[in-house]
Amino acid sequence: MILIADSGSTKTSWRLLTAEGEVAQAHTIGINPYYQESAEITQSLQESLLPQLPQHMPEEIYFYGAGCSAKDKQEVVASALRALFPSSDVSVHHDLEAAARALCGHEEGIACILGTGSNSCHYDGEKIVESMPNLGFILGDEGSGGYMGKLLVQAYLNLELPQDLHQAFFERYQVGRDEIIDQVYRKPYPNRYMAGFAKFMHDHRNHPYLYQMIFKCFADFFEKTVTKYPDYQQRGTHFVGSIAFYFSDILRTVAQQYHINVKNILESPIAGLSLYHQQKITV
């Protein structure tokens, strides 16, 4: 029996698998070792994950998560999972591996994540061979929900939004400068908070002002990441994440400007990961 998880900064999808097929699935909040310590993760999962799963102890656990590229951050998550499942063999991987396996399968390509945060890599069909630096919410995350929200809130607070959008934003959220500053600079998970405003942008994406803002978000992502991979125009480029999925029409339009061949766009990699590990169990 195998437990697999795909985690971003906002949400985590879990699947419990056997050789005969799926046993259970569950959903919890996102896990990111850059923002959480092991004890906090363990307590959160004990309250949210365990009640959703049958009383089975998985032999193996494969966790794919945002912020899990460095060994020390992987150990933060691994320690939390071992506390809950002491007899399980725990393996923690970067979320880019989940994206590459789910999107590209065994083919070469460029795999991109556009969710609360953003990331990308060149995958050779078996492993990641190159990735652009991920600078996180403060210095990077171009094209992500957090990046979109940041641009929108900046325009709102600087009184740069057209009057109709400014009024719609205020009526929907009823927030001002002080509350936003407090959420961003004093409270945890500012990336999640900012990414929440991407829903407003989606609802008003046909407004010329916001359309151009969304266009810029994706153009910034392509400029900072995809266009820096050698021969990127000759390779298929794939996307996973809620931002890529729900803004796919604009994403494809921007990609055409850079002669980027967009192929698969998935909301979540969990189905592809389930298939990958199901095949391993069967074999």
Report pLDDT for 191: 84
Report pLDDT for 283: 52
Q: Where are the domains of the chain?
A: 2-98+270-282
CA distance 72 to 57: 25
pLDDT digits (tens, 9 = 90+) for 7-55: 977 789 999 987 677 778 899 998 889 889 999 999 999 999 989 888 7
Q: Are strands 128-130 and 118-123 parallel, antiparallel or unpaired?
A: antiparallel
| Distance set, CA 62 to CA 17, 35, 92, 116, 234 (Å) | 11, 20, 6, 22, 32
Report, at the CATH architecture level, how domain 2-98+270-282 is classified. 2-Layer Sandwich (3.30)
Report pLDDT for 171: 94
- Extract the residue ranges of the chain whose pLDDT is less than 50: none
Report pLDDT for 1: 85
